[in-house]
Structure 1
Amino acid sequence: MKKRVLHIVGGLDVGGIEKWISNLLKVKEFHENEHYILSMHPTMDAIVPELSLAEEKILFVGKNNVLSRLSKLTEIIKDIKPDVVHSHSSYSSGLYLLVSHLLGVKKCIAHSHSDRRTVDKNATLVKRVYISVMKYILSKNFVTKLAVSNDSGKSLFKKNYEVMYCGVPILDKTIINSYVELDKAKQKGKKLVFHIGRDTPAKNFKFIYDLVDSFTSNKNIQFVFVGGGLDSVKNEFQLRGIRNINFIGQVPDPMSIMHSYGDLFILPSKWEGLPLSVVEAQLAGLPCLLSDKITSEVNIGNVSYLELNVELWKSSILEKVQTHKVVTIDSRKFSLINNIDELNNMYGD
C-alpha cells in the first residue's frame, strides 16, 4: 500500500539536498510511495523544472517567517494526511516534526545533511539555546534519525542515528558537451580545475578568491565554477582583476561536464555533510583536493586532504594537474537504488 510522504526542505534552489531528491524522483521505484515536497522558502525554486513530480505536489510557504511556515505545514498535513514527514532542514526539523507528531503523523524522520559543529562554536547565546531545544526534541523516540555521514549524525543527534550515504546517478559517457570557452581553453592546453557550489559560508569563497588569485601569473591553469547564484563571486573576481576563470552556471549534469573537460576538482569548504559533488567528480575521473574539514567517508579512491593554506593548495594543484595516476574507484555505497530500497522500507515500517 502506497504511503504519502511529505518532504520538508529549506528551499528549492540547486543544492546537494535538492539535487539528491531530484535524482531519487527520476527513478521509477521511488514512486512506489506518493511524494510531496514543501519548501520553507517562498521563492527559491530553481530546481523545480528538474523535479519529476506533479506541480500540485510541489508546495511553498507564503512568507519567509516561522509563523507562515508552521501555518502552511499544519494546513498541508490536514489536507493530504501524510503517513510520513521526512524533514531535511537541519535544526528546524525539531520544530517541524514536533508539529507533525502532534497533528498525528505516524512516522517523523529527521535527516541530517551537514556537520555544523565547527561553525556552531561561534553561535550567539540565543542561537545556542535554539540549537539545544531543537536537539532535545530530535532526541525523542518519535523521531527516526537519519544522517548522510557519521559526522553529520554526530552534529544533529549525537547518538541513535542511522547513516545512509546519498547515492549519485551513473555517469553517462555518451553525452556530448559543448562549452565554447572550455573548448578554447582545452585547445590551448590549459588544465581545468572545477568547483561546484553556491555562494554560502560553508563553501569558503574567501579562501577560493585568494587561491585563484595566486594563479594569475600561471597561464596554464583555469578555474571553472559550476552553480547558480554566483553573481557576487563574479563581481569579486572582477574587482581583483582575475581572468583565469569560467562560470558555466547551473547545469543538469555536472558529472558529464567534468568528465569531458576536467583535470581536477577542489572543495576547500569550512564544513560539509557529505558533498556528493566530490563523489561525482571521482566518478567522472577527476582527482579531488578537499579541505581537512570534510569527512573521509566521501573518499571512494581519489581524494587528497589539505589544511586551508593557500601555498599548500597551490603546490598540490600544480602537482595534481600534471600527474595522471590510475586509481580504483568503488562507488557501491553511493547507490541511488540502495537509497530507494532503504527509504521505501523506512517509510513502510
Structure 2
Amino acid sequence: MFKLFTKDLLDRQRIIKYFVYAIISFTLLDGLLKNRPEITFNNRFLIFVAVAFAGSIFYYIRGYVSNDRILSYYALPVSNETLNKNFIFAIIIDSIFSKLVLVFIALYLLKAPFDFYAKVTMIMLAITFFALSINTLNLKLASMAIIFILTIVSIYMIISFDLVYGGIATIADIVLAKILFKNIYFSSKNNAKISKLKIANYFLKFSMDESIYIINTISILAMIIFASFAFGNEMGIVIAFAVGAVNTPLLTMFSSSESLRDYDKMLPDSNISLRKDYMKVLAMYFIIVNIFITTINFNKIEPGYLLFINALVLTILEVLFSYKIETLRPITNTKTQNEIWKHPRKYILPVLVFCISFVILIML
C-alpha cells in the first residue's frame, strides 16, 4: 500500500526535482547570506514556521484527498487502518522532502541552534496530524476538537519548553491520532455550489467559492505578519515579500483544469478572454499583498523610498512572470491536483522575489 501512495505523491522524478531545487536554493541563499548579520532565533521564529506548515500541509493534503482516487483505494481488500497508516506515512515522507529539507537549509545558512532542527521537525509532525483530521469524511467533531487542542498544546510545549517535553507532547499527539484515525476515511466533502456573488471575473468568483483559496491566502497573510516582526527589520521584510509570492493554488489555475485550457483557446483575444480575467486576479492579489507588506513595515527601511521601489518592482515582476509561465507553460501530464500544487516550479518565483528584495532592501 505504501508504494501505491508514493507513486501518487512522491515518485522518483519528483524526488530528483526536489534535490535540484534544494541545491539551487542553497547556492543562491549561501551567496546572499554570507557575511551578513545573523538572525536572532526565538519563539517567534518557531511560530512563523508553525503557521507556514499549517497552511502548506493543509492544502497539500486537501489537494490529494479531494480527488476520487483515494476513495477507490478504500475498496481494495485491505483494512482502513492499514491503508490510512500507509497514507499518513507517505504524507510525512513527502513533507520531509518538500518542506523540511528547505527549512533545514535555511536554518543551516542562518546559523540556527541545533535544537531548532528537532523542534521544527516535531512542529511539522504535530501539524500534519491536525491537517489530516480536518481532511476526513467521518471523523467526529469531538475527536477533531481533541486533536486540535492536543496539537496546540504540543506546539506550545515544543516552543516554550525543552526537547523532552516537546517530544512527549508530540508522541502523545501521534498516538491519539493513530487511535482516532483507525476506521476513518480520508477525503473531502466536495462543494459543488456556485457562488451567489455576482462577479463577472471567472477566476475571482471561483477562488471566492473554494475554501482552499481563502484559507491559503489567510495563511500567507499570517506568515507575512510573523515574518515582518519575528526577524530583523530588513531580513523580515525580505522574507515577507518572498512568502507573499507562494500562493500556489492561485498561480496554477490553468494547470488545474485541462477543460479550462481548451476553453481559453476557443475564446478570441477580446474583453471576454479568460487570460485577461486571470491577469486581473493576479494583479489584484499581488497589489493587495505588497501594499499590506509595505504598510505594516513602514518606517523600517532607510531610506524609506526603497520599500516602495521594491514593492513596485516586485508587483510588476510577479504579475507578469506568474501570468506568462501559467498561460504559456502550464503544468500538464499530472495525475492529481496535489501533483500540480507540489510541482517544484512553485519555488522559482519566491526565490526570485527573495533575491531582488535582498538586493534592494539590504545590499543597497
Settle same-fold status: TM greater than 0.5.
no
| TM-score, normalised with respect to structure 1 | 0.27
Question: RCO higher in 1 or 2 (8 Å CA, sep ≥ 6)?
Answer: 2
Greater share of residues in strand: 1
